[in-house]
Chain A
């Protein structure tokens, strides 16, 4: 029978005991969720609302804002994009609703950029048309965690 020296046994014992720890460190991905800002996206035909007329014999227009046929709003949320953070992981939280609405040029439109003239790209109310996954940052817990 092979006899092992006590030192060798001790080393072997330590190696075996350390294995679960090494496995635990490998299982904690050390990642965190990254913030994604709210997103508005225009779809379909994009019109420039405006008021047309002729001066000096040449046709021109007072230009309003761009008015999409459909608009989608994705709420601010977090995603797993590989950001690193020791001791945490990026994990699924919940689904958030994505919303859509329809718009059309509503008559008097002027770019409402700091000049107090009202802009009227008229849009309907938001309907919930889809979902986006939201994630969060969690500490690595449980028996194999830190």
Chain B
């Protein structure tokens, strides 16, 4: 076999073992050698390679454009059907026509672009009708409405270059304008979704998936998130379409499109979830040295922690957090991965040991706290600090994460800790859970608040309980009282809030916070009267 010329090197290297780059040099020879089915598949794969090649060499690559033109001409000549295979590189739609050569009985639709828009709107309308008719169920069963959707999707199934056409439509024009209404955009994304799902379900579809993945950086920003969401959630036969078989291609695309680094890194999140513990470790260990991409850093640590060697993941996380050259964004992402995925005792110890670095990252602590049985591990760390009387701020953070602890345990903790900010946090955590309510809780909690609360001008209680914490507890109790229909408790709590809102000794921000809570329960007239009083 003769050596491939360098301009086709990209196509030749693309992981499609049945191809040789020399097949695409001589179009007439290729036409004679390949049958229709293979040619269509190879056309799509070649298109993918050429698109990547054009991206590497710039949009003005004349070699790529010549090849695109020759491929399009070959398709036009095939089967006597006048069909122009490809949209232009600038995303402008071209006239296309198709017939139901697949034999599924779809009607001939005429000439685009008018029919393309109509079909896109038909898909959006059909799906909306299905949702409107489902009446709260999670499964749609109306035969007529399902048939309407099939009628709208069917033409795309029978036209071999549908994916290319739709991706070109979603790319926008030369000026960066997406010339579609929001319904048409939704319809186009959903058409791609159905193409991927149905073709994959039929045992085909790999080339379409590759084409979509390669086109993602070119998709208009107004459509990209929707398309990525559709692709990453697309499943056929109970299995996600985007699986480990696309790992190498995504790695390749990530290297080819560095401006879309985070876009492709995010796809690892979907694929990583389907890897075995052993494969998680071997695959993601490769990215251990990547320290610039917060998304990839988070996914790497997450999957290493879930692999068959989680100790390495924890070690790497600790090493990265101690590295002063790594950005805070990456460090926050790594800490988030540890909080959510390390075993709860390791995660609690990890955060507790670095509390000073993450003391103003409440979501980090709460993400650990929402895990099963986390309150046990957090309690171990907390008790260790309480015994030595150390680090009240760290104790506060640990308590803020104890969303799974019982109301009684948190009340007991509040009664035993001698630091006001820890007491305040314990009461906030205890009252923030929607399942815990009794009028007795109101009395006990308010008693505890009043026992520890004094209001000097700086807004801190006698033991450091802050005004924000006090108001937060009253806010939570008021919400629960209203939900439970306990008007007696609600009136008592609103009285406390009114007192704070009208106390000239309170800071302005504290009075404003109390007023905002009162606005949920009082009429505008009552609020005005309160402000004037």
B contact residues around A117 at 8 Å (CB): 128, 131
A contact residues around B425 at 8 Å (CB): 130-131
A contact residues around B202 at 8 Å (CB): 58
- Check if B366 sits within 8 Å of A62, measured CB to CB: no
Q: Select which of A50, A108, A124 is within 8 A of B434 by beta carbon.
A: A124
A contact residues around B236 at 8 Å (CB): 58-60
* Number of residues on chain A facing chain B (CB within 8 A): 52
| C-alpha spacing A60/B231, complex, angstroms | 12
- CB-nearest residue of chain A to B424: A131
- Check if A108 sits within 8 Å of B468, measured CB to CB: no
- Check if B434 sits within 8 Å of A55, measured CB to CB: no
Binary interface encoding of chain A residues 106-131 relative to chain B, with 1 for a CB under 8 A from any of its CBs, else 0: 01111101111100000011011111
A contact residues around B363 at 8 Å (CB): 39, 41, 43, 72, 74, 98
B74 interface contact, C-beta 8 A: no
- Check if A69 sits within 8 Å of B134, measured CB to CB: no
A contact residues around B207 at 8 Å (CB): none
Binary interface encoding of chain B residues 66-100 relative to chain A, with 1 for a CB under 8 A from any of its CBs, else 0: 00000000000000000000000000000000000
| C-alpha spacing A113/B475, complex, angstroms | 33
B501 interface contact, C-beta 8 A: no
| C-alpha spacing A72/B467, complex, angstroms | 21
A24 interface contact, C-beta 8 A: no
| C-alpha spacing A141/B513, complex, angstroms | 29
- Measured as residues with beta carbon below 8 angstroms from the partner, the interface class of chain B is 35 or more
| C-alpha spacing A109/B136, complex, angstroms | 9
A contact residues around B124 at 8 Å (CB): 115
- Check if B149 sits within 8 Å of A127, measured CB to CB: no
A13 interface contact, C-beta 8 A: no
| C-alpha spacing A83/B214, complex, angstroms | 40
| C-alpha spacing A113/B132, complex, angstroms | 17
- Check if B360 sits within 8 Å of A98, measured CB to CB: no
Q: Which of A2-10, A14-22, A25-33, A89-97 contacts B (4 or more CB under 8 A)?
A: A89-97
B contact residues around A79 at 8 Å (CB): 360
Q: Contacts A72-B366, A95-B468 hold; do A129 and B428 have CB atoms under 8 A apart?
A: yes
A139 interface contact, C-beta 8 A: no
- CB-nearest residue of chain B to A125: B479
- Check if A43 sits within 8 Å of B366, measured CB to CB: yes
Query: How far apart are A44's CB and chain B's nearest CB, in angstroms?
Result: 5
- Check if A58 sits within 8 Å of B201, measured CB to CB: yes
- Check if B367 sits within 8 Å of A41, measured CB to CB: yes
A133 interface contact, C-beta 8 A: yes
| C-alpha spacing A43/B428, complex, angstroms | 18
- Check if A131 sits within 8 Å of B130, measured CB to CB: no
Q: Select which of A51, A70, A74, A129 is within 8 A of B130 by beta carbon.
A: A51
- Check if A129 sits within 8 Å of B432, measured CB to CB: yes
- Check if B428 sits within 8 Å of A130, measured CB to CB: yes
Q: Select which of A60, A74, A102, A132 is within 8 A of B193 by beta carbon.
A: A60
A63 interface contact, C-beta 8 A: yes
| C-alpha spacing A109/B154, complex, angstroms | 24
B contact residues around A116 at 8 Å (CB): 182
| C-alpha spacing A56/B513, complex, angstroms | 56
B contact residues around A137 at 8 Å (CB): none
Q: Select which of A52, A95, A96 is within 8 A of B140 by beta carbon.
A: A52
B contact residues around A111 at 8 Å (CB): 186, 226, 229
- CB-nearest residue of chain B to A106: B136
Q: Select which of B128, B138, B229, B367 is within 8 A of A110 by beta carbon.
A: B128
Name, among A94, A115, A133, the residue most crowded by chain B CB atoms within 10 Å (CB to CB): A115
- Check if A95 sits within 8 Å of B469, measured CB to CB: yes
Q: Which 8 A-B pairs have the closest CB atoms?
A: A114-B182, A128-B472, A58-B201, A107-B136, A41-B363, A127-B432, A95-B468, A53-B140
Give residues in A with beta carbon < 8 Å to B.
39, 41, 43-44, 48, 50-63, 69-70, 72, 74, 79, 81, 94-98, 100, 102, 105, 107-111, 113-117, 124-125, 127-133
Give residues in B with beta carbon < 8 Å to A.
124, 127-128, 130-132, 134, 136-141, 146, 149-150, 153-154, 157, 182-183, 185-186, 193-194, 197-198, 201-202, 226, 229-230, 233-238, 328, 359-360, 362-363, 365-367, 370, 400, 403, 425, 428-429, 431-434, 459, 466-469, 471-473, 475-476, 479, 507, 509, 513
Given contacts A51-B137, A125-B479, 10 further A-B contacts (CB under 8 A): A41-B366, A59-B235, A111-B186, A127-B432, A127-B433, A127-B479, A129-B400, A129-B403, A130-B366, A130-B400
